[in-house]
Amino acid sequence: MEKMDIKDRILAYMRDKAQRPLPAESLAAELHLKGARLKSFWPALEALEKTAAVIRNRSGLYGLPEHMNLIVGKLSMSGKGYGFIVPDNKGSEESDVFVPGAMLASAMHNDRVVARVTPSAAPGRAREGEIIRVVERANTKVVGTFAATDSFAFVTPDDQKLGQDIFIPKKAFGKAKNGMKVVAEITRWPEGRHSAEGRIAEVLGRVGDPGVDVLSVMRQYDLPPDFPDEVQAAARAVPQTVQRSEYAGRRDRRDFPMVTIDGDDSKDFDDAVYAEPRPDGGWFLGVYIADVSWYVREGKPLDIEARERGTSVYLVDRVIPMLPFELSNGICSLNQGQDRLAMACEMVLSPMGAVQSYEIVPAVIRVARRLTYNAVNQVLVDKDPARTEELRDFLPLLETLAALRLARKKLRRRRGSIDFDLPEIKVKLDDAGHPVELIKRTGSLAESVIEECMLAANETVAEHMEKKELPFVYRVHEQPPAEKIERLNNLLAAFGLYVRPNSAGAVRPKDVQQVLDRVAGRPEERIVSTVSLRSMQQARYACDSLGHFGLAARYYTHFTSPIRRYPDLIVHRLLRETFATGTIPARRQEKLRAMLPDVAAHASVRERVAVEAERETTEMKEIEYMTRFVGETFPGVISGVTAFGLFVELENGVEGLVHVSRMVNDYYDYAEEQYALIGQRTRQAYRLGDEVEVVLVRASVEERNIDFILKDNGVYEPGGEPAKGRGARAGKKKAAGASKAEPAAAPKKGKAGKTAKKGGTTRAASASAKAAKAKKTPAKTAGRKKK
């Protein structure tokens, strides 16, 4: 225990030995602290109390919240006036805590709070809580629409989960006018029946003006487009060419005719690949990643800013980079024909695609050719004569990459990697930022080639570091929750299928993939694939190597995108620390083990923020695109079923709500286990995955709503508004990210996929819809390159 941090010692004693709440003096005495350790005890205890890791009661005694019938966690509001607390340390048997509106105190959505818990009154019902303290405020500023009277105004938040309008006294109007998008700074928190009060901190522009919609999202999610002066100065000080002294100690791979393969509009290139066949039928594969950690040193301004941002954010019309332009598009970008520093993962693959040996080394490279997915597909898939002639010198390399891609894909398939083939929707904008086309696309051969190369490198690096037993950051994707597998099996039973858990209640990825294989091409394929995907957990960053369920990988990390993901940068930095001796000094290991959990947790949070912001901006442009089609009929597929209606996805990927009140030929009951609404009299059933025809009756950009009616079971009145509470916030089961092979990875640059967010015309309906989708749709992956 002597080697434990003083905070850890306090918590360990209170958890394992304390039988009652203790005065601070008694706690210090029980820990046998003297001298400097006793002196450090008092600020440590104060810090623990400030973060609610330890609670000080009214008698001045200290204890753990779980020993005092208290819970600490993040408040998630419904938008209907109540919320749920998601516990900080949620165990497998620990449920969220329901908080009625009257018990919220001054807490708002996403605040970290302490609540007193009341056991559930009946089995299956959520525990209830009363918030007694706000530990950390999440909403010091709120983005919304300004509406004024002569003497006061309100700001209606864009985030419908905030629920309450912000009261603005006249003296705090600033330059805001009616109908403007503004940022309100909260000056007094809500209490009981009194709304929060604030002042106008920034005027963004009038609703509907070009760029104001995306700017509002940037402010809502606190995504700064510019870098602080200190960070920008540090970036400008970085030389834009490799210095002579930097070649030393690096493997020289400038004679390898390697290529980058990215989208047509990509500007930053952080990976290059090279491969050649071996006499035994296997391959040499080199994956070369921009050596960002060489330029971004720990604790320096560039590093501090990159850590805070966590990831680049790819909005519908712009990129908010993690690193300044001088690095992301300059010296760190693997531009054609220029010497660049890289981290190399060079692997020897067997004819079956297994990694037989590898080296992870610093290198200097020079990319021979910048290729695009389209160009590679024209050569390998379309066999286009002109393009093939243009790339004749690289044809052997491309054919080798295609062959090893097939071997790697088969290898992953054999071990049970789950493959959800999900399309992406890209919104094409005109020069004024208005949507002109929705482009639906699926993964191509070229993208799969790069995906397999990146997956191989990520797995190899993760296994390398785990076997060294050194501090590290892994990308983990855990077992699906048992209750979700049970729900999946309830559905599968109707088709004579079953995912069988083992004696410990765990399932194998192969079992899920075998179910998907058995329904492939059958009518039930869509519903089974959809529910299987919704059974998955979110992937996250962690310091323990827990494996990746979706990829059926024992070892996994993110190594391949350090320009746009901070965990990848950390992975490179940790690898570099091992190059000299093969290990990391013990004192440094101790520091890393204390630091890395916070880095991993913060990166996971920033990833989710980026996904939400990307989805938000894509969604609003999709709705704007659909406004021109009100009154028209579309074929669609039921993509979600709730007690209040059906979500229907159109062929272009746009999704909206058919409210149950607009289904006029019967009363409909919600059959949750069947994922269906069933008529009481007609027994007509509308099930997840069914094909339907719908009429678009409303598309509201301002409210983010899309409303449909069923063509053969609804009444459309042109120009009419839907009944109150009957709207749907458009969503697109947009997944975030990186690849259909990895649920919940970060999005590939410029390739946001589809993410769910539904709702209604009123806040209540919107929140209900959104919550329903949130329960059934994990953040899945779609951008097919950066694993």
pLDDT digits (tens, 9 = 90+) for 498-530: 998 887 778 999 999 999 999 888 878 878 888
User: In terms of pLDDT, which residue wins out, 379 or 756?
Assistant: 379
Euclidean distance between CA atoms 377 and 357, whole angstroms: 30
Strands 474-476 and 435-441, sheet pairing:
unpaired
Q: Please answer whether residues 736 and 745 qualify as being in contact, where contact means their C-beta atoms are separated by less than 8 angstroms.
A: yes
User: In terms of pLDDT, which residue wins out, 773 or 336?
Assistant: 336
Contacts of 102 (CB under 8 A, 6+ apart): none
**Residue 191: per-residue pLDDT:** 79
- Is pLDDT above 90 for 148? yes
**Residue 735: per-residue pLDDT:** 30
Mean pLDDT rounded to a whole number for the chain: 87
Apex CA 349: angle with CA 346 and CA 350, to 5°? 160
- Residue 545's Cβ-side half-sphere holds a number of Cα atoms within 13 Å equal to 21
- Is pLDDT above 90 for 647? yes
Q: Quick one: average pLDDT of 255-283?
A: 95
Q: Quick one: average pLDDT of 568-577?
A: 98
- Is pLDDT above 60 for 769? no
Q: Report residue 363's pLDDT band, with 50, 70 and 90 as the boundaries.
A: very high
Contacts of 719 (CB under 8 A, 6+ apart): none
User: In terms of pLDDT, which residue wins out, 310 or 124?
Assistant: 310
**Residue 576: per-residue pLDDT:** 97
The two structure tokens encoding residue 376 = 């590679």
pLDDT digits (tens, 9 = 90+) for 167-204: 999 999 999 999 999 999 999 988 777 889 999 999 99
**Residue 247: per-residue pLDDT:** 95
Q: Please answer whether residues 599 and 307 qualify as being in contact, where contact means their C-beta atoms are separated by less than 8 angstroms.
A: yes
Q: Quick one: average pLDDT of 624-629?
A: 95
**Residue 487: per-residue pLDDT:** 84
Q: Is 408 helix (H, G, I), strand (E, B) or coil?
A: helix
Q: Report residue 122's pLDDT band, with 50, 70 and 90 as the boundaries.
A: low
- Is pLDDT above 90 for 407? yes
Euclidean distance between CA atoms 499 and 28, whole angstroms: 53
Q: Report residue 758's pLDDT band, with 50, 70 and 90 as the boundaries.
A: very low
**Residue 560: per-residue pLDDT:** 97
- Is pLDDT above 80 for 693? yes
- Is pLDDT above 60 for 760? no
> In this predicted structure, which of 400-404, 451-455, 490-494 has the lowest mean pLDDT?
490-494
Euclidean distance between CA atoms 709 and 713, whole angstroms: 7
* One-letter amino acid of 727: G
User: In terms of pLDDT, which residue wins out, 383 or 525?
Assistant: 383
Q: Quick one: average pLDDT of 630-637?
A: 95
**Residue 3: per-residue pLDDT:** 53
Q: Quick one: average pLDDT of 427-449?
A: 91
Max alpha carbon distance in the chain (Å)? 83
pLDDT digits (tens, 9 = 90+) for 229-266: 999 999 999 999 999 999 999 999 999 999 999 999 88
* One-letter amino acid of 544: D
- Write the DSSP assignment of 107-142 as a string of letters: --TT-EEEEEEE--SSTTSPEEEEEEEEEE-S-SEE
- Is pLDDT above 50 for 756? no
Euclidean distance between CA atoms 141 and 198, whole angstroms: 9
pLDDT digits (tens, 9 = 90+) for 578-587: 999 999 999 9
- Is pLDDT above 60 for 427? yes
Q: What is the DSSP letter of 329?
A: I
Q: Quick one: average pLDDT of 121-143?
A: 84
Q: Is 114 helix (H, G, I), strand (E, B) or coil?
A: strand
- Is pLDDT above 50 for 754? no
**Residue 496: per-residue pLDDT:** 87
Place of tokens 């855990």: 478
Cα 250 to Cα 244, 270, 341: the distances in Å are 12, 18, 9
pLDDT digits (tens, 9 = 90+) for 150-163: 899 999 999 888 87
The two structure tokens encoding residue 745 = 């990875």
Euclidean distance between CA atoms 326 and 346, whole angstroms: 28
Q: What is the DSSP letter of 490?
A: H
**Residue 93: per-residue pLDDT:** 53
**Residue 720: per-residue pLDDT:** 56
Q: Report residue 32's pLDDT band, with 50, 70 and 90 as the boundaries.
A: confident
The two structure tokens encoding residue 352 = 């079956």
Euclidean distance between CA atoms 474 and 700, whole angstroms: 41
Euclidean distance between CA atoms 596 and 414, whole angstroms: 34
The two structure tokens encoding residue 17 = 């030995």
pTM for this predicted structure: 0.84
- Is pLDDT above 70 for 770? no
